[in-house]
């Protein structure tokens, strides 16, 4: 289990988290959703120990991240949003290194690479990998840790649909094995019916919880709302993107939908 | 009458009971006719030996003349004595008595092909002219370096030399004498000797018209220790790894040609030190890797040409008291400080017959391709007087900062920095110097 | 939940060292650095005859001051920047950043220092081998190691590639010329003339100057004519090699700490 209590974090004068409280239980997939700059990624960075909160408490697997950092981090495997690796190291070298850092046997590496379909690239420098292959390497490294708590920040962005499906299957399986899975995402539609909980973060706080089986409908009017907005613009949006109505701006013949995605979603004329 | 080929003792016993071998040899020396040739077979002959008549004493390989640690092993008092082929060892160690392995006071002695060790002085010539000292090997007790005081302050003492008391060294410091020691004599030929590990290598005092050629002196205190000796010529000698280098003082009309003064590196060592030296030619020598390559003070009318002054800490230190020096066609390369001067050196010239010196690292224009740079070369002495008033400045030697300022000065002659100006710098190093 | 086993400091450091070694096999900076060392190592052979033994140190001194030091700095910089993309993986590991950085820095310093032996091999093979040459080689190795770790620290503090390059070159200029020019400029100040030890201190602290003084006055035995320049200067010149060892060790440690601080600082960026 992980929890945060009254978590605060600012970058300069900009407050990102303003007293965030959340709980994620073992055996469940918990989504963390929200608009851009709502604090999703910051929350995961704090949970993963990549940044220090200004105040508040983070508990991971029964350990306080501030006072028992090593023990707490040993419970976590974290998948960053856009994983990249040392450009001059091969796939095999990267995976072996992280296995060593986690105290895993090096002989597990080929199995992990095989599981994510990159065994044949074991001797390829990571600089030569495509975005999708790099993401699969990241997932192999992520899985190698065999940690009880899995944190994923916008996973699967570079993956094709088949591997996105496999990722979700993998996470579902891990949750069933009693692991705590926390996913920050904006691709709500893909998780409908797979997630156990969905926490909405707005302006640095947990603003509520959405019904996991009706993610498309429950969030800002859902995809239907986006579709409606797009139809008003006589446009189509990127699959899976959810767009709030007030953020749709008309720009002449084109409309820019600033969605809950990484960047602007441009709706073609 | 000279008896050629007189063979001594068919089978002399080696040194043993009653020193019979030495006694027999002594008797033969005494009894031989003047001019006789004594061929001495291999054996250990206990000395001391005194030769008071013209005689040729020729040692076979393995012939040893052994002193008893007192006096001179061989004393040559007569003219025209030849001593060749021996291992001579075991002289006394009395500095006040000038003990030597071979002590010569007879004219025209020929000392050749001997090996000399375990002695105070090696070969000592006193008031005897026209000696020929050839191809001997003189080994002192130690080949180790010594650190000594600056010879300008304490090393060479003219008063001692004038009185004939040359060895003012404290006894407790060292019981070594000089390799070849010449005093108050003239007309010698010193050639092809190897001297190593003695106190000084070749010592000159009041010795004139002597040629010193092709000798090698290494790992001694002064390779050449030289005073009050005029009209001498040094040709093709090597003085290397000596604690204080070569020092010449109070003499005139010398020629130093084709010698190598190399790797004399102790704290106050000089490649070649000239003090009060007049009317002297110094040409085609290699002065390399010394603490102070060439030091000239209070000297007049020197001609310094075609020398290679390279890789020294200070290449050339030229005092303002030196006048009339013509410094040309030399190669100054790789010295940490090429020039150390106390002023502008206006009394000396840095080019002759339209040719100056080569200064490495200088990127010079030569549009007419005559081998002479089109603009003068300014060689700064960046530290100048600070060396004396603020010696710590020497820690910036060869530092990038110092090199940068030197680089700039060579091009735009920064004001207030002492140095010399070569009006006709050479584009290439002089081949003769190499 | 119980704490999971965490690899020891040594295990992580060893893995990081191995990773650093592997990563440099394809590093063009290292290839250029090695080529430079080989070329510089052959320079002494231009010294004819007996001058080889006495001249090698002087050649190597200049090669280290004007080329190898910069090359090592850039190598360190490249080593830091190559990790940039992977930081979110590295610092989230339970063992923390310290062991990883210790292993990385040690391997980098060892690699650079060991390769510095190329500077003396040609001269040694050609018959110029001596205790003094060994001392010069050891000094060059130490200075190279310091420069590499300094470059590493700059790389961790200045994340941007171009800015990092500018900062590194600025640092090199400051170390190479800055101290000398400053001391030349103030050498005439009466207070310093009365207290030469104060004037000497910055020179002693600069590893490039310490190396130069060691080569000149200890290995090459060029006579420093200012033994009466002050107690500190006299001590330094007569114990130049000892001091070089001390100052190189100190700077290695300082640079490693600076790199660690720089890396930690980026966790919260």
Q: pLDDT tens digits, residue range B156-196?
A: 443 333 333 333 333 333 567 899 999 999 999 999 999 99
Is residue C50 within 8 Å of residue B262, measured between CB atoms? yes
Q: Nearest to residue B288, comparing CAs of C216, C52, C128, C120? A: C52
Question: In angstroms, rounded to a whole number, what is the distance separating the alpha carbons of residues B19 and B150?
Answer: 46
Distance CA B413, CA B434 (A): 30
pLDDT classification of A171: cutoffs 50, 70, 90: very high
Q: Does B265 touch chain C (CB under 8 A)?
A: yes
Cβ–Cβ contact A61 with C under 8 A: yes
Q: Cα A196 from chain centroid? A: 15
pLDDT score at C150:
97
Is C76 within a domain?
yes
- Range with the poorest average pLDDT among A163-167, A175-179, C214-218: C214-218
| Tokens coding A190 | 């893909």
pLDDT of C264 > 90? The answer is no
Cα dist from B36 to B30, B58, C35, whole Å: 11, 11, 71
pLDDT tens digits along C98-133:
999 999 999 999 999 999 999 999 888 887 778 888
Burial class of A33 by CB neighbour count within 10 A (0 to 12, 13 to 18, 19+): buried
The residue that leads in pLDDT, B78 or B95, is B78
Mean pLDDT to the nearest integer, B254-278: 87
What pLDDT sits at residue A239? Answer: 40
Which chains have 3 or more CB–CB distances shorter than 8 Å to chain A? C
At C7 the three-state DSSP class reads coil
| pLDDT of the residue at A14 | 86
In the predicted structure, residue A186 carries a pLDDT above the cut 90: no
C7 touches chain A (CB under 8 A): yes
What's the rounded mean pLDDT across residues B340-358?
84
Short-list B257, B85, B243, B78, CA closest to B169:
B243
Residue C199 lies in a domain: yes
- Percentage above 90 pLDDT, chain B: 50
Answer yes or no: do C216 and B393 touch at CB < 8 A. Answer: no
**How many Cβ atoms are within 10 Å of B31's Cβ, its own excluded?**
8
Token pair, residue C28, equals 């063009």
Helix or strand or coil: residue B429?
coil
Q: Report pLDDT for B16.
A: 41
C94, B382, B327, C156: which is closest to A72 by C-alpha? C94
Pairing of strands B377-380, B419-422: antiparallel
Contact C224 B389 (CB under 8 A): no
- Range of lowest pLDDT (A197-201, A252-256, B178-182): A252-256
User: Model confidence at C3, in pLDDT bands (50, 70, 90)?
Assistant: low
Place of tokens 């106190």: B199
Asked if residue A190 has pLDDT above 90, the reply is no
Distance from CA of C215 to the nearest CA of B (A): 11
Task: Tell me how many domains chain C contains.
Answer: 1
Residue B126 and residue B103 in contact, taking contact as beta carbons nearer than 8 Å = yes
Flag whether residue B407 sits within 8 Å of chain C, measured between CB atoms.
no
Give yes or no for C10 touching A (CB within 8 A): no
| Closest-approach residue (CA) in chain A for C24 | A88
pLDDT (0 to 100) of residue B143: 43
pLDDT in tens, C197-228: 899 999 999 999 999 988 887 777 665 655 56
Kindly indicate the confidence band of residue B33, based on its pLDDT and cuts at 50, 70 and 90: very high
With an 8 Å Cβ cutoff, are B267 and C223 in contact?
yes
Tell me the two tokens of residue B192.
């092809």
H or E segment to which residue B407 belongs: helix B400-412
Residue A200: is its pLDDT beyond 50?
yes
The rounded distance, in Å, linking the Cα atoms of B90 and B100 is 9
**pLDDT band for position A222 (cuts 50, 70, 90):** very low
Note the pLDDT of residue C80.
93
Contact yes or no for C224 and B394 at CB 8 A:
yes
Across the interface, do A83 and C267 touch by the CB < 8 Å criterion? no
- Residues C243 and C240: their CA atoms lie apart, in Å, by 5
pLDDT tens string C8-56: 899 999 999 999 999 998 888 899 999 999 999 988 787 665 555 667 8
Q: Report residue A247's pLDDT band, with 50, 70 and 90 as the boundaries.
A: very low
- In this predicted structure, which of A18-22, A96-100, A262-266, B219-223 has the lowest mean pLDDT? A262-266
What does pLDDT average to over chain C?
A: 87
Evaluate whether residue C4 is within a structural domain: no
User: Left if phi > 0, otherwise alpha if psi is -120 to 50, otherwise beta: which for A165?
Assistant: alpha
Query: Do the chains contact at C88 and A86, CB–CB below 8 Å?
Result: no
Q: Does C234 reside within a domain? A: yes
Residue C54 belongs to some domain of the structure? yes
Mean pLDDT of the region C229-245:
85
Distance from CA of B148 to the nearest CA of C (A): 12
Kindly tell me if the per-residue pLDDT of A245 is higher than 50: no
Residue of C nearest to A10 (CA): C268
* Summary mean pLDDT of chain A: 78
Contact by Cβ (8 Å): B262, B284:
no
3-state helix, strand, coil in chain B (%, to 5): 10, 40, 50
Query: Residue C51 sits in which domain range?
Result: 9-268
pLDDT of A264 reads 37
pLDDT at residue B41 above 90? yes
Q: Is C85 exposed, middle or buried (0-12, 13-18, 19+ CB in 10 A)?
A: middle
The three state secondary structure string of chain A is CEEEEEEEEEECCEEEEEEEEEEECCCEEEEEEECCCCCHHHHHHHHCCCCCCCEEEEEECCEECCCCHHHHHCCEEEECCCCCCCCCCEHHHHHHHHHHHCCCCCCHHHHHHHHCCCHHHCCCEHHHCCHHHHHHHHHHHHHHCCCCEEEEECCCCCCCHHHHHHHHHHHHHHHHCCCEEEEECCCHHHHCCCCCEEEEEECCEEEEEECHHHHHHHCCCHHHHHHHHHHHCCCCCCCCCCCCHHHEEEECCEEEECCCCCCCEEECC
Q: Give the residue, C77 or C5, on which the prediction is more confident.
A: C77
Q: Are C196 and B392 in contact (CB under 8 A)?
A: yes
Q: Quick one: pLDDT band at residue A252, thresholds 50, 70, 90?
A: very low
DSSP-derived secondary structure for B57-80: EEEPTTEEEE--SSS-SEEE-SSS
Q: Per the confidence metrics, is the pTM higher than 0.80? A: no
Q: Which of A106-120, A190-204, A205-219, B369-383 has the highest mean pLDDT?
A: A106-120
Hey, is the C-beta of C61 within 8 angstroms of any chain B C-beta?
yes
Average pLDDT over residues C242-264: 94
Tens digit of each residue's pLDDT (9 = 90 or more) over A50-61: 888 999 999 998
Helices assigned H by DSSP within chain C: 9-24, 28-42, 51-63, 69-82, 87-90, 97-115, 121-123, 131-157, 161-173, 179-186, 190-194, 196-205, 207-214, 231-238, 240-267
- Run of H or E including B402: helix B400-412
Q: What is the pLDDT of residue A142?
A: 92
- Residue B419 CA, chain-centre distance (Å), reads 29
Q: Which residues of A touch C24 (CB under 8 A)?
A: 88
Q: On the CB side of B214, how many CA atoms lie within 13 Å of its CA? A: 7
Residue C84 lies in a domain: yes
DSSP B4-29: TTEE--TTPPPS-TT-HHHHHHHHHH
The whole-angstrom separation of Cα C150 and Cα C258 is 8
Chain B CB within 8 Å of residue C209 CB: yes
Q: Which residues pair with B102 in a beta bridge?
A: B74, B123
Looking at the complex, does the CB of residue B309 fall below 8 Å from at least one CB of chain C?
A: no
Integer Cα distance of C35 and C118 in angstroms: 9
On whether residue C2 sits in a domain, the answer given is no
Asked if C141 contacts C117 with a C-beta cutoff of 8 angstroms, the reply is yes
pLDDT above 90 (res A259) = no
- Residues of chain B in contact with residue C207, where contact means CB-CB under 8 angstroms, are none
* pLDDT tier, A116 (very low <50, low <70, confident <90, very high otherwise): very high
Tokens of residue B39, six digits: 């061929």
Beta strands B308-310; B331-333: pairing state: parallel
Cβ atoms of B297 and B325 closer than 8 Å: no
In a domain, C60, yes or no: yes
Token pair recorded at residue A96: 């072996």
Interface partners of chain C (CB pairs < 8 Å, 3 or more) are A, B
pLDDT at position A156 is 75
**What average pLDDT does this structure show over C248-265?**
92
* The two structure tokens encoding residue B15: 């040194």
B420 touches chain C (CB under 8 A): no
Does A14 contact C at CB distance below 8 Å? no
| Radius of gyration, CA atoms only, chain C | 20
Contact C207, C180 (CB under 8 A): no
Mean pLDDT of the region B131-143 = 88
Using the Cβ of A101 and the Cβ atoms of chain C, whether some distance falls under 8 Å is answered with: yes
Two tokens, residue A182: 């926390």
CA distances from B197 to A23, A145, B167, B294, B303 (A): 88, 72, 16, 23, 32
A134: pLDDT strictly greater than 50? yes
Kindly tell me if the per-residue pLDDT of A162 is higher than 80: yes
Identify the pLDDT of residue C2. Answer: 58
Q: Is the pLDDT of residue B431 over 70?
A: no
Give the residue-averaged pLDDT of C251-265.
92
Rounded mean pLDDT, A177-181: 93
Range from A30-44, A246-260, B246-260, B296-310 carrying the lowest mean pLDDT = A246-260
Kindly calculate the radius of gyration of chain A based on its CA atoms and give it in whole angstroms. 19
pLDDT digits (tens, 9 = 90+) for B374-425: 888 888 888 777 777 787 888 888 889 988 888 887 777 777 777 888 999 9
Taking contacts as CB-CB distances below 8 angstroms, the residues of chain B near C54 are 263, 265, 288-289, 311
Q: Are C126 and C48 in contact (CB under 8 A)?
A: no
Query: What distance in Å separates the CA atoms of residue B182 and residue B196, rounded to the nearest whole number?
Result: 17
Across the range B135-146, mean pLDDT stands at 73
Beta-strand relationship, B270-283 and B300-305 = parallel
Q: Give the whole-angstrom CA distance, residue B74 versus residue B76.
A: 6
Q: What is the pLDDT of residue A114?
A: 92
Query: What is the interface size between B and C, counted as CB pairs within 8 Å?
Result: 116
What is the per-residue pLDDT for B9?
46
């Amino acid at each position: 289990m992980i929890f945060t209590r009254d978590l605060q974090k600012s970058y300069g004068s900009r407050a990102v988290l303003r007293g965030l409280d959340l709980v994620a239980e073992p055996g469940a997939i918990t989504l963390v959703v929200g608009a851009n700059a709502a604090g999703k990624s910051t929350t995961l960075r704090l949970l993963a120990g990549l940044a220090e909160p200004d105040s508040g408490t983070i508990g991971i697997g029964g350990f306080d991240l501030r006072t028992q950092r090593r023990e707490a981090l040993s419970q976590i495997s974290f998948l960053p949003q856009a994983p990249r690796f040392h450009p001059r190291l091969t796939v095999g070298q990267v995976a072996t290194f992280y296995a060593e850092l986690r105290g895993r046997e090096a002989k597990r590496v080929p199995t992990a690479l095989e599981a994510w379909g990159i065994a044949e690239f074991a001797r390829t420098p990571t600089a030569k990998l495509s975005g999708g292959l790099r993401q699969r390497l990241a997932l192999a490294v992520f899985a190698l840790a065999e940690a009880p708590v899995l944190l994923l920040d916008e996973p699967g962005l570079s993956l094709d649909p088949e591997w996105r499906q496999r990722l979700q299957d993998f996470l579902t399986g891990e949750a069933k094995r009693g692991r705590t899975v926390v996913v920050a995402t904006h691709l709500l539609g893909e998780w409908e019916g797979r997630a156990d909980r969905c926490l909405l973060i707005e302006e640095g706080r947990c603003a509520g919880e959405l019904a996991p089986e009706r993610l498309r409908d429950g969030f800002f009017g859902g995809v239907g709302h986006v579709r409606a907005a797009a139809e008003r613009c006589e446009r189509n949006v990127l699959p899976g993107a959810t767009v709030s109505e007030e953020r749709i701006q008309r720009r002449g013949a084109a409309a820019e939908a600033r969605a809950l995605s990484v960047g602007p979603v441009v709706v073609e004329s | 009458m000279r008896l050629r080929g007189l063979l001594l003792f068919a089978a002399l016993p080696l040194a043993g009971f009653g020193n019979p071998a030495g006694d027999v040899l002594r008797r033969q020396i005494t009894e031989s006719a003047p001019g006789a040739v004594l061929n001495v077979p291999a054996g250990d002959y206990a000395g001391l030996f005194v030769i008071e008549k013209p005689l040729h004493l020729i040692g076979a390989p393995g012939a040893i003349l052994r002193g008893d640690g007192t006096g001179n092993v061989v004393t040559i008092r007569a003219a025209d004595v030849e001593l060749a082929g021996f291992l001579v060892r075991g002289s006394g160690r009395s500095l006040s008595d000038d003990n030597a392995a071979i002590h010569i006071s007879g004219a025209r002695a020929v000392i050749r092909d001997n090996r000399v060790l375990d002695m105070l002085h090696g070969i000592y010539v006193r008031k005897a002219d026209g000696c020929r000292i050839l191809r001997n090997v003189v080994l002192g007790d130690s080949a180790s370096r010594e650190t000594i005081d600056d010879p300008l302050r304490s090393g060479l003492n003219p008063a001692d030399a004038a009185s004939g008391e040359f060895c003012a060294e404290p006894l407790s410091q060292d019981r070594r004498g000089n390799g070849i020691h010449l005093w108050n004599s003239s007309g010698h030929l010193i050639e092809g000797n190897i001297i190593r590990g003695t106190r000084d290598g070749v010592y000159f005092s009041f010795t004139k018209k002597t040629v010193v050629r092709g000798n090698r002196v290494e790992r001694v205190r002064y390779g050449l220790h030289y005073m009050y000796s005029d009209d001498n010529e040094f040709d093709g000698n090597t003085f290397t790894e000596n604690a204080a280098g070569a020092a010449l003082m109070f003499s005139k009309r010398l020629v130093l040609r084709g010698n190598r003064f190399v790797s004399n590196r102790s704290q106050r060592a000089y490649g070649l030190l000239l003090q009060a030296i007049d009317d002297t030619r110094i040409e085609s020598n290699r002065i390399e890797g010394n603490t102070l390559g060439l030091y000239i003070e209070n000297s007049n009318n020197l001609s310094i040409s075609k020398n290679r002054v390279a890789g020294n800490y200070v290449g050339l230190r030229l005092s303002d008291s030196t006048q009339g020096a013509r410094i040309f066609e030399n190669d100054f390369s790789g010295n940490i400080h090429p020039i150390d001067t106390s002023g502008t050196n206006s009394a000396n010239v840095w080019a002759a017959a339209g040719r100056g010196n080569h200064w490495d690292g200088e990127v010079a224009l030569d549009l007419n391709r005559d081998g002479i740079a089109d603009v003068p070369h300014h060689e700064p002495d960046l530290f100048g007087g600070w060396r004396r008033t603020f010696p710590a400045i020497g820690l910036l030697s060869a530092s990038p900062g110092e090199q940068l300022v030197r680089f700039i000065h060579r091009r735009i002659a920064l004001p207030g920095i002492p140095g010399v100006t070569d009006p006709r710098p050479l584009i290439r190093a002089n081949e003769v110097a190499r | 939940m119980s704490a999971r086993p965490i690899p020891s400091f040594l295990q992580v450091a060893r893995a990081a060292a191995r990773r650093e070694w592997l990563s440099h096999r394809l590093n063009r900076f290292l290839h250029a650095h090695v080529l430079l060392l080989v070329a510089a190592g052959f320079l002494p052979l231009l010294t004819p005859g007996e001058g080889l033994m006495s001249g090698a140190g002087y050649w190597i001194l200049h090669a280290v001051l004007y080329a190898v030091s910069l090359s090592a700095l850039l190598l360190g910089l490249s080593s830091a920047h190559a990790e940039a993309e992977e930081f979110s993986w590295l610092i989230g590991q339970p063992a923390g950043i310290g062991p990883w950085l210790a292993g990385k820095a040690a391997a980098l310093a060892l690699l650079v220092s060991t390769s510095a032996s190329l500077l003396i091999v040609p001269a040694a093979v050609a018959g110029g081998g001596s205790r003094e040459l060994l001392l010069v080689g050891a000094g060059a190795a130490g200075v190279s190691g310091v420069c590499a770790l300094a470059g590493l620290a700059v790389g961790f503090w200045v994340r941007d590639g171009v800015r990092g390059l500018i900062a590194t070159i600025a640092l090199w200029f400051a170390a190479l010329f800055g101290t000398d020019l400053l001391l030349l400029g103030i050498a005439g100040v009466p207070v310093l003339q009365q207290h030469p030890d104060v004037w000497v201190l910055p020179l002693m602290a600069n590893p490039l100057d310490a190396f130069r003084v060691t080569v000149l006055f200890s290995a090459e035995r060029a006579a420093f004519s200012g033994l009466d320049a002050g107690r500190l200067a006299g001590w330094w010149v007569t114990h130049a090699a000892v001091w070089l060892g001390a100052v190189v060790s100190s700077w290695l440690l300082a640079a490693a700490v600076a790199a660690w601080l720089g890396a930690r600082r980026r966790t919260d960026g």
